[in-house]
């Protein structure tokens, strides 16, 4: 029997090792054991989450496409392919390379589906910037994203950055990519057709990234733990060539299937392609291009070296494919063939070093995990507003919130990214969502990523629903119809019942919200074990969402435009302060209930705004989220760098809401609210649309002047708002 310390070092437990012996009917070889360890890891096989992931809706108002490595929707004659994935643990260990290879990996999932990558987004989470190591992580991650994406020529068009103590010791780097292609040119990750060739294409294989998915991504960080050898090294220039070569290869029609060698490397790509094609596969590792001497078979099978793919090619077409990759100075070699025995057979130095049923390898065991509500949740949910003093100076509160790194402008981040390469970005980073034109088409795409993890900490079901609702709201504010979701589910150790309780309830929240919006979940990723000796991260089910603009010329942005425009608030403001940025920043508390969410009311507000934009009635639209109404108004005033413009919120609005605490009115985070502006002559039509959709609608003021005034509560000049909001993040970095 293999010594226990050997399989435990690979991330396998006693029961899993015994199951492997039972499947094999013998003691596994070192290569077989390594292959099982990566394929059964949480990062690849999802043994602790797969049963819940099957509950996500796969159909919606647009026709969905669910692939092996990515998914998407069809619109007109086009397939829109997109996915989000985590690279959290590598980025905590080596921020630049961890983030860079996260970008490279997710983009490969897009172009191996046959789609040309057109945009990237990133959702980032760090601990407080008062800690030097968190500042180091932020700088390194941003540098890595900029390095890889800018060199690759794929624009980074949007995302989000949050800061919270729970991410100290375990940052989150969630990368999202979008691509398009004619709907009849999609590729799949399948190998079939006995005798068809298996080709290795791309860069060579080294020892970088060995065990990344089983050792690094499937365990929590221990005190002083050092895991640098498991971080991959990326080369964006090689990937740029790989994109061009791959798309050229797919255009030949000779490709049966293709898969990125991402997590678990050659093991994952070979086993999962064969299993998806209901076939077997035989490969010879002597033919794999290596860049290091003396590599063992298990190292070659586990390596996560970047910029590599496995391709199933029609027999007789190998030379033509190889010539394409030679032209781009890349490897393109035959390393095996498809067989009919449904086994993955690996040869090395003249010997069979692995012979495993593809189904046993590709389908990890399924675990039903115990779950239990956290013991301290009821205490966290307790909040008596009578004990929260109302600050005397609302001006100072607003400036403090605008200076909070979570709310402050992220220009320092996105100005390092090339968001104009490919010249399709028509709404730049910094608005509610980014908007892309599609060359030669009237329609366009909008994309966003969203999640307030504090809400999920206080109420995972409602918090996850709010993440879906806010993503949809951001798209609608940009003029888009929410179409489909990808997700990145970031949680702590699933073997701890309270962590799994959060995961289960967040999943159910996403399921029910997506069903309410009639949008499918087409792809995604689960990242467990995000915790360190400091504790677990806040539950963070990041939602990536795309929307369709039937006419991209009707796109909308968040900032005020013209003097004299009427400012209207759609939706209802409630006396809610639980989980708010105000409560955290001003009073140092994370407590209370997450804001209420009525999905029917949310859909009604979104429908009214979408219809108003389609009818050309609005000059701006901006959702109220972190920081509440006052912060949203300030952003409407100063987020256009070229033309800051003030606003005057009238006393009648304040009087109508006098029953609310003034801090709840100004800084509470009630959901389903959107601030819109329009010219005076269009006000009646906007009000009529709101009434038709049964949406609360208040004219609250008008655009103009050199300050933000909320009668009797706020009076701040634009330069002070701008300095607080734009300067906060830069002062830390």
Comparing CA positions, the residue from 474, 502, 447, 508 lying closest to residue 602 is 474
- Residues in a beta bridge with 255: 313
- Helix, strand, coil percentages for the chain (3-state, nearest 5): 40, 25, 35
Q: How far apart are CA 708 and CA 89, in angstroms?
A: 43
Instruction: Match 């702590």 to its residue by tokens.
Output: 492
Q: Where are the alpha helices (DSSP H) in 112-188?
A: 132-152
Number of H helices, E strands in the chain: 25, 28
Tokens of 634: 């300030």
Q: How far apart are CA 628 and CA 713, in angstroms?
A: 14
Listed in sequence order, the residues at least 6 apart from 260 whose beta carbon sits closer than 8 Å to its beta carbon are 69, 105, 108, 109, 112, 269, 308, 309
Tokens of 470: 């806010």
Tokens of 699: 């004219």
In the chain, what's the furthest Cα-to-Cα distance? 85
HSE of 433 in the Cβ direction (CA atoms, 13 Å)?
33
Contacts 24+ apart (CB under 8 A), 330-333: 330/201, 330/202, 330/203, 330/238, 330/241, 330/242, 330/245, 331/200, 331/201, 331/202, 331/203, 331/204, 331/289, 332/199, 332/200, 332/201, 332/245, 333/199, 333/200, 333/201, 333/287, 333/288, 333/289
Pairing mode, strands 674-678 and 540-549:
unpaired
Active site residue 89: no
Comparing CA positions, the residue from 686, 727, 461, 695 lying closest to residue 594 is 461
Active site residue 43: yes
HSE of 327 in the Cβ direction (CA atoms, 13 Å)?
12
* Backbone angles phi and psi of 546, in degrees to 5: -115, 155
The terminus-to-terminus CA distance of the chain in angstroms comes to 53
HSE of 338 in the Cβ direction (CA atoms, 13 Å)?
25
Listed in sequence order, the residues at least 6 apart from 495 whose beta carbon sits closer than 8 Å to its beta carbon are 48, 369
Q: How far apart are CA 401 and CA 667, in angstroms?
A: 9
Helix 236-251 to helix 318-327 angle (10° resolution) is 150
Tokens of 715: 């009076």
Query: Listing from the earlier edge strand, what are the strands of the sheet with 308-313?
Result: 255-260, 308-313, 197-202, 331-339, 280-284, 343-348, 351-357
- Residue 710 belongs to what H/E stretch? strand 707-710
Comparing CA positions, the residue from 314, 67, 327 lying closest to residue 179 is 67
Q: Where are the alpha helices (DSSP H) in 448-496?
A: 453-458, 460-477
Comparing CA positions, the residue from 485, 484, 481, 462 lying closest to residue 473 is 481
- Our measurement of the distance from residue 166's CA atom to the centroid of its chain's CA atoms, rounded to an integer in Å, reads 19
Q: Where are the beta strands (DSSP E) in 493-646?
A: 521-527, 531-532, 535-536, 540-549, 566-570, 620-623
Cα-only R_g, the chain? 26
Residues tagged active-site: 43, 87
């Amino acid at each position: 029997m293999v010594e226990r310390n050997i399989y435990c070092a690979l991330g396998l437990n006693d029961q899993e090792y015994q199951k492997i012996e039972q499947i094999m009917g013998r003691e596994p070889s070192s290569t077989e054991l390594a292959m099982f360890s990566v394929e059964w890891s949480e990062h690849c096989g999802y043994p602790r989450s797969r049963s819940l992931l099957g509950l996500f809706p796969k159909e919606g108002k647009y026709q969905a496409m669910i692939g092996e490595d990515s998914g998407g929707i069809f619109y007109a004659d086009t397939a829109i392919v997109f996915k989000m994935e985590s690279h959290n643990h590598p980025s905590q260990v080596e921020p630049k390379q961890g983030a860079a290879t996260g970008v490279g990996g997710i983009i490969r999932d897009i172009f191996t589906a046959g789609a040309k990558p057109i945009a990237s987004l990133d959702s980032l989470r760090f601990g407080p910037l008062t800690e030097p190591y968190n500042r180091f992580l932020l700088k390194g991650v941003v540098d890595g994203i900029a390095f890889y994406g800018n060199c690759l020529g794929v624009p980074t068009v949007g995302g989000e950055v949050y800061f919270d103590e729970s991410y100290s010791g375990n940052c989150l780097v969630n990368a999202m990519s979008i691509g398009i292609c004619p709907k009849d040119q999609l590729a799949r990750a399948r190998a079939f057709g006995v005798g068809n060739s298996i080709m290795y294409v791309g860069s060579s294989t080294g020892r970088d990234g060995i065990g990344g998915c089983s050792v690094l991504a499937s365990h929590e960080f221990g005190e002083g733990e050092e895991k640098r050898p498991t971080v991959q090294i990326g080369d964006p220039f090689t990937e740029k060539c790989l994109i061009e070569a791959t798309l050229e290869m797919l255009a030949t029609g000779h490709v049966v299937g293709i898969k990125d060698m991402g997590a678990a490397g050659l093991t994952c790509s070979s086993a999962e392609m064969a299993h998806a094609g209901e076939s077997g596969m035989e490969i010879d590792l002597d033919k794999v291009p290596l860049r290091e001497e003396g590599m063992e078979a298990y190292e070659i099978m586990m390596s996560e070296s970047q910029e590599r793919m496995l391709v199933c090619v029609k027999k007789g077409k190998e030379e033509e494919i190889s010539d394409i990759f030679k032209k781009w100075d890349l490897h393109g070699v035959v390393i095996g063939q498809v067989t009919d025995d449904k086994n993955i057979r690996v040869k090395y130095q003249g010997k069979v070093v692995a012979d495993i049923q593809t189904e046993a390898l590709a389908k990890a065991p399924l675990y039903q995990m115990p779950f239990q509500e956290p013991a301290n949740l009821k205490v966290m949910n307790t909040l008596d507003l009578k004990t929260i003093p109302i600050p005397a100076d609302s001006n100072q509160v607003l400036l403090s919130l605008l200076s909070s790194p979570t709310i402050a402008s992220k220009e320092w981040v996105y100005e390092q990214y090339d968001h104009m390469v490919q010249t399709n970005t028509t709404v730049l980073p910094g608005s509610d969502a980014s908007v892309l034109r599609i060359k030669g088409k009237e329609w366009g795409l909008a994309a966003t990523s969203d999640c307030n993890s504090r809400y999920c900490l206080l109420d995972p079901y409602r918090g996850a629903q709010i993440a879906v609702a806010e993503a949809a709201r951001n798209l609608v504010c940009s003029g888009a119809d929410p179409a489909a979701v990808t997700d990145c589910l970031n949680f702590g150790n699933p073997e701890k019942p309270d962590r799994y309780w959060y995961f289960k309830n967040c999943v159910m929240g996403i399921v029910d919200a997506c069903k309410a919006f009639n949008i499918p979940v087409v792809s995604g990723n689960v990242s467990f074990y995000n915790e360190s000796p400091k504790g677990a991260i806040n539950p963070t089910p990041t939602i990536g969402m795309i929307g369709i603009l039937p006419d991209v010329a009707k796109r909308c942005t968040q900032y005020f435009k013209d003097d004299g425009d009427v400012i209207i608030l759609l939706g209802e403001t409630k006396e809610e302060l639980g989980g708010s940025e105000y409560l955290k920043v001003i009073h140092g508390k994370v407590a209370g209930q997450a804001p209420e969410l009525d999905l029917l009311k949310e859909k009604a507000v979104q429908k009214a705004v979408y219809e108003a934009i389609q009818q050309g009635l609005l000059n701006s639209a901006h959702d109220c989220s972190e920081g509440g109404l006052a912060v949203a108004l300030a952003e409407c005033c100063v987020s256009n760098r070229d033309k800051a413009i003030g606003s005057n919120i009238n006393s009648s609005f304040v009087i109508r809401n006098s029953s609310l605490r003034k801090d709840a009115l100004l800084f509470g985070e009630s959901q389903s609210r959107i601030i819109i502006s329009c010219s005076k002559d269009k006000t009646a039509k906007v009000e009529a649309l709101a009434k038709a959709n049964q949406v609360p609608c208040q004219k609250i003021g008008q655009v103009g002047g050199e300050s933000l005034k909320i009668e009797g509560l706020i009076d701040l000049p634009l330069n002070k708002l701008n300095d607080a909001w734009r300067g906060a993040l830069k002062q830390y970095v």
